[in-house]
Amino acid sequence: MQAMILAAGFGTRLLPFTELRPKPLFPLLNEPLLLLTIRRLQLAGFDRIIVNCHHLKEQIVDALAGISGVIIQEEEMVLGTGGGLRMALSHMRDEPLLISNGDIYHTVDYLDLYRSHKSGGTLVTMAMHDYPRFNKVTVEDDRVTSFDDQSGEKCLAFTGLHVLDPEVLETIPLAQKNSIIDRYCELLLEDLPIQALRVDGCSWTDMGTVADYLALHGKLLKKEIPLWQEFSITPESSFLIADHIGTEGVTLKDWCCVGSARFGQDVTLTRCVVWDGVRIEEGTDLSDTLLV
């Protein structure tokens, strides 16, 4: 089975932090989300995984170097989701392709989505759920009927997970910026159905803002949502601290995730994420903060 992770975006809602590293490489419980996603796909049986990259692409190339079964697609210009998929067509086998955004944490079953597509008889299958913040796609009788209905009636949210037959990509212009949703709109105009697989009840987070990123850590550390088995460490409490650092004189409250950082005395952190390499000065008292 084959999959593609879309990891080329700028992550503008997470500026200025995405000036330091691309969003798919943001650590989740001290491990890059992109690497966790690749492990999860491989465990599900996906033996060919294409990852595209553009913004700070050198970091993604370095992070994925030597991982078996991973094909890295470096993009010299912004191609969008459709353009990136079209460029990757030459890397694809003649079989369905599962696609995932590179910035989501979820419990959607990859295999269930893939098998539903193979048995559904459509060119595209989209994983959809009721998530009012993002409900923008109209679904009727397990079929997507519109991408631009703003009424909210019969609307669901697209999870960023979908499966397509590669032939769908052939008409997208090569080396031009395009959205895959524009191609899906064309399919609807051609009366070619798009299957909607309901995944209501799954845990799903779009890691799009700092608030989302912090909230995801809190839910994972407080065991409010399931932890992927691909994490190297299962936290035993609501505090995760790199095991080779000292935290004498440091007070952690509610929940915190701390990488390999250095602390001064009398530091208090509440609901904070601290990346590797951070130096926190003496007397710091912060809450709900990402420290990089």
Average pLDDT over residues 125-137: 93
pLDDT digits (tens, 9 = 90+) for 52-76: 999 999 999 999 999 999 999 999 9
Same domain, 65 and 149: yes
Round to whole Å and give the CA distance between 60 and 66.
Answer: 12
Name the domain boundary from 183, 202, 221.
202
**pLDDT tens per residue, range 141-198:** 999 999 987 666 789 999 999 999 999 999 999 999 999 999 999 999 999 999 999 9
pLDDT, tens digit, for every residue of 80-123?
999 999 999 999 999 999 999 999 999 999 999 999 999 999 99
Look at the chain and report how many structural domains it folds into: 2
Q: Are residues 122 and 196 in the same domain?
A: yes
Q: What is the pLDDT of residue 12?
A: 92
Question: By percentage, how much of the chain surpasses pLDDT 90?
Answer: 84
User: Quick one: 54 and 158 in the same domain?
Assistant: yes
For the cut 80, the answer to whether the pLDDT of residue 249 exceeds it is: no
Q: What tokens does 281 get? A: 């000065």
The SS3 assignment for 50 reads strand
Query: How does pLDDT run across 26-57, given as a tens digit for each residue?
Result: 999 999 999 999 999 999 999 999 999 999 99
Average pLDDT over residues 14-23: 95
CATH number at 90 reads: 3.90.550.10
Containing structural domain, residue 268: 210-291
- pTM of the entire structure? 0.94
Rounded-to-integer distance, Cα 204 and Cα 94, Å: 30
How far apart are the C-alpha atoms of 185 and 242, rounded to whole Å? 47
Residues 35 and 92 placed together within one structural domain of the fold: yes
Task: Tell me the pLDDT band of 245, cut-offs 50, 70 and 90.
Answer: low
Say what the pLDDT of residue 278 is: 92
- Whether 106 and 84 map to the same domain: the answer is yes
Do 123 and 226 lie in one domain? The reply is: no
Q: Are residues 67 and 194 in the same domain?
A: yes
Residue 1's alpha-carbon distances to 91, 111, 121, 188, 194, in angstroms, are: 13, 10, 18, 27, 21
pLDDT at residue 223 tops 90? yes
Confidence of residue 264 (pLDDT cuts 50, 70, 90): confident
Residues 214 and 145 in one domain: no
The whole-number average pLDDT for the span 220-234 is 94
**Do residues 181 and 244 both lie within one domain?**
no
Q: Domain boundary at 167, 202, 237, which?
A: 202
Q: Which two tokens stand for residue 82?
A: 């459709």
Residues 68 and 182 in one domain: yes
- Picking from 202, 236, 253, the residue at the C-terminal end of a domain is 202
Rounded to whole angstroms, how far apart are CA atoms 112 and 159? Answer: 15
User: Do 66 and 182 reside in the same domain of the chain?
Assistant: yes
Asked if residue 244 has pLDDT above 60, the reply is no
- The whole-number average pLDDT for the span 210-232 is 96
> Residues 46, 3: contact at Cβ < 8 Å?
yes
Same domain for 110 and 170, yes or no, is yes
Where are the alpha helices (H) located in the chain, listed in sequence order?
A: 33-43, 57-64, 80-87, 110-120, 180-189, 210-221
Q: How far apart are alpha carbons 221 and 281 in whole angstroms?
A: 25
